[in-house]
Structure 1
């Protein structure tokens, strides 16, 4: 079996990043989401390597072994895209296919939009490309969903990371189950006076795709860095809107692939965006819906995701 190796790489952005990697060949950069790390790509690293690619999954800014600065304003989309482009440089490549899941998807879309010269192709799991809106997002979300909507809730200083870090084992068990295709349904709206984990109840039995070893690995990977850095990504939503004015409704021109589960509330709640995505992603090659799959796409359905990714990579 192909080995997954680990090292630290100095991104040209200046961030010292932990990466997990496997294989040799054209570079495929795998960007995780929240609350994850390189480990969410465990099933893809080996599959891509065995198919002749150099698969690299970093811990992104603020996460796990990479960690990051304490200042909230150091987690903008420009920092995150810069880390990814800087990592391509540090790995000695001119171009890469950039794949992202959850929060990693907006980063992948941003890299493809801002630096198409560095991107052979872009693949996004769960989160479609959204063109820049006409007004800042946090106020819009507050009006639509209330103060309890998790992205609005995460704007509060200190509170979300304290809750998530109180019992990391319960945090990962509850969140990974709640947003999966095995749970009865997921509504990420915090009840008044409650916390985010109130909408992530612990399962009586963990899904087949999620082992006790998986949960223990996430807990161990977060032991030093905690949750403040990851939550800071959400605290930059309005700042990102300000910073990206120059790219308002600019197209994403590299070849693209989108994959989502049909039980993923993030994707199903964005069906209208997905249906119109070619308006702003003109070379969208395919949209793949995975039946019965929830939000943790590449972990819940590794074989199907690997098949879709390899088909896309071979088409480039």
Structure 2
């Protein structure tokens, strides 16, 4: 597993989502390390310079959690605070459910994690989508042939997703997680003529070059393995996270908007304080989209350090 490791002190693990890399956290790593923490940001399984197994089953949530636990062991660490954005949030959630003994707290961004339900996660969505004649990005990206479609114009895909999910994108150009059958996937986002203000050409080039290593297919297998992950985690039914938690989202994150009368994220938001009874704070950042670490790095550093410092202060207090 490829990772960036800076600083000394209590361990903080930063887990990116899709389609990102350890590089998402480049503005947090140095700031948090300078404040007395050891900060590690990996390329998760199938991304960047980390191994990319062929089998879809190798990307179910138990393997993704196993990567986190294995990384901690390789680092010689026995405790960490987990931070996750987008797909990083469900990895964080499941890691602390499976191994609460290894973690001191959790901070999640953008994608509210959902507890294990009575049916596979995509099953309910699939029924609703079929009734309305819609495609849904999680199902779509999980199809083997879609990676080739994306790789034919990787730069436009990444630039379009980064822009259309950001807070600087106008409402009528925002990415849509669902679309009608007569549309194409590339119709669901806007490729801007110029780079968004928060994204440098150097950053875009880095993402394009790294995803060109193994293609985007391995990262897409996370979606293909969603229901497989449900099948192998029945032992998590009813489990909650007792650790200190913080959830952060952007006010203009299009992934949270209901579409076609389907509010797929609403129930997850409503259950946050049930799944995390020690939820310290739920923060909505004005004018921010789906990538707070990229869009508002200084604000994220402030929020993250405040949360980390509170955890360390609480840990030193007598019971």
Shorter-chain TM-score above 0.5: yes
Once structures 1 and 2 are overlaid, which stretch shifts more, 174-183 or 260-269? 260-269
Unpaired segments ≥5 residues, structure 1: 1-16
1:67 shift after superposition: 3.0
1:205 shift after superposition: 2.5
Mapped to 2, the partners of 1:238 and 1:256 lie a distance apart of 26
Q: CA RMSD in A?
A: 1.5
Residue 166 of structure 1 corresponds to: 152
Alignment deviations for residues 179-202 of structure 1 (CA, whole Å, 9 cap, x no partner)? 111122321224425542221221
1:273 shift after superposition: 2.6
Residue 286 of structure 2 corresponds to: 291
Normalising by structure 2, we get a TM-score of 0.90
1:180–1:295: 8 Å Cα contact kept in structure 2? yes
Residue 207 of structure 2 corresponds to: 218
Residue 298 of structure 2 corresponds to: 303
Residue 276 of structure 1 corresponds to: 271
1:27 shift after superposition: 0.6
Alignment pair present for 1:148 and 2:135: yes
1:242 shift after superposition: 0.9
Mapped to 2, the partners of 1:281 and 1:222 lie a distance apart of 34
1:170 shift after superposition: 1.1
Unpaired segments ≥5 residues, structure 2: 259-264, 312-319
For residue 175 of structure 1, the aligned residue among 161, 183, 197 is 161
1:260–1:267: 8 Å Cα contact kept in structure 2? no
1:130 shift after superposition: 1.1
1:49 shift after superposition: 0.8
Mapped to 2, the partners of 1:308 and 1:112 lie a distance apart of 21
Mapped to 2, the partners of 1:18 and 1:28 lie a distance apart of 16
1:188–1:196: 8 Å Cα contact kept in structure 2? no
Once structures 1 and 2 are overlaid, which stretch shifts more, 128-137 or 291-300? 128-137
Residue 252 of structure 1 corresponds to: 241
Q: Classify the secondary structure of the residue corresponding to 2:107.
A: strand
Structure 1 or 2: larger helix share?
A: 2
Mapped to 1, the partners of 2:185 and 2:12 lie a distance apart of 33
Q: Classify the secondary structure of the residue corresponding to 1:56.
A: strand
1:271 shift after superposition: 4.2
Alignment deviations for residues 128-176 of structure 1 (CA, whole Å, 9 cap, x no partner)? 12111111122211223344111121232x2221112112211111110
Mapped to 2, the partners of 1:224 and 1:130 lie a distance apart of 32
1:141–1:152: 8 Å Cα contact kept in structure 2? no
Alignment deviations for residues 90-145 of structure 1 (CA, whole Å, 9 cap, x no partner)? 11110100111000110011111110000111110101121111111222112233
Normalising by structure 1, we get a TM-score of 0.91
Number of matched pairs: 299
Residue 89 of structure 1 corresponds to: 73
Mapped to 2, the partners of 1:134 and 1:119 lie a distance apart of 27
Mapped to 1, the partners of 2:129 and 2:162 lie a distance apart of 22
